[in-house]
Amino acid sequence: MKIEIEKSMVEAAYRVACGNTKEVLTTLFGKENCKPSKATPTLDDYKTIQEYADACEALGCAPIDEGALRSVGVRKGIIALIKLETISRALWGRNYQPKPDAKGESRFYFPWFALWTESEINSTNDLVYIPVIDALGRLAGLGSAYTNNAPSTADAYVGSRLWQESSEKAKYFGQQFIGLWFDYLMCNVKKA
């Protein structure tokens, strides 16, 4: 008996599979046939920007020479910031408009991070979170670290390079590029 299966069907099955089923599919068809083919990075669909190299490709710019920057003493946090700014620009797409609005008629969104351990996160499952309606006195979320604060402080009095025009994009920006955000916000802190 011979069964023919198209790659797109294997990819679809892998996408909805969980646990051992994914392992079975990978064993049967190989890892390269299970994972969906990577979409060409484009400014028209921000979800095609999945890594720094994708952002550079979509924008048509060359990636930074990280080795050269490191050799002259540029810190990991600064390199991460440069990459995040490039990614942010690509996520905005063709309609790049992150300009401050003096009238306050525009809303912009930042990824927001809470530095908790896994056990702390698990112990807060029962908490109810109330959204902040009044922003007066709230801080904006652009990462910075004053010498009198912990590295995770997120104060922002000025700045716009890392904001997005929707909460959905800001969430994607934070989750997809969590490693770069860690390097930027937690400069010189080792990952566990």
pLDDT digits 0-9 by tens, 51-84:
999 999 999 999 999 999 999 999 998 999 999 9
- Clarify whether residues 60 and 21 are in a common domain: no
Do the beta carbons of residue 47 and residue 55 sit within 8 Å? no
Write the DSSP symbol of residue 45.
B
Q: How far apart are CA 164 and CA 155, in angstroms?
A: 17
Q: How far apart are CA 42 and CA 54, in angstroms?
A: 8
pLDDT digits (tens, 9 = 90+) for 81-114: 999 999 999 999 987 766 767 787 878 888 877 6
- Clarify whether residues 99 and 143 are in a common domain: yes
Count the domains in the chain: 2
The DSSP secondary structure of 65-110, one letter per residue, reads -HHHHHHTT--HHHHHHHHHHHHHHHHHTT-------TTS----B-
Which pTM does this prediction carry? 0.64
C-alpha R_g of the chain: 20
- Clarify whether residues 161 and 133 are in a common domain: yes
- Clarify whether residues 83 and 20 are in a common domain: no
- Clarify whether residues 2 and 18 are in a common domain: yes
- Clarify whether residues 12 and 64 are in a common domain: no
- Clarify whether residues 132 and 65 are in a common domain: yes
Provide the residue range defining the domain that includes 11: 1-37
- Clarify whether residues 30 and 55 are in a common domain: no
Highest mean pLDDT among 20-29, 40-49, 92-101: 40-49
Q: Is residue 191 part of a domain?
A: no
| Of 67, 91, 88, residue with least CA distance to 79 | 67
- Clarify whether residues 14 and 60 are in a common domain: no
Q: Is residue 192 part of a domain?
A: no
Q: Is residue 132 part of a domain?
A: yes
- Clarify whether residues 48 and 29 are in a common domain: no
- Clarify whether residues 33 and 54 are in a common domain: no
pLDDT digits (tens, 9 = 90+) for 153-190: 555 444 567 888 889 999 899 888 988 988 888 765 66
- Clarify whether residues 63 and 153 are in a common domain: yes
* pLDDT the model gives residue 108: 82
Length of the chain: 192
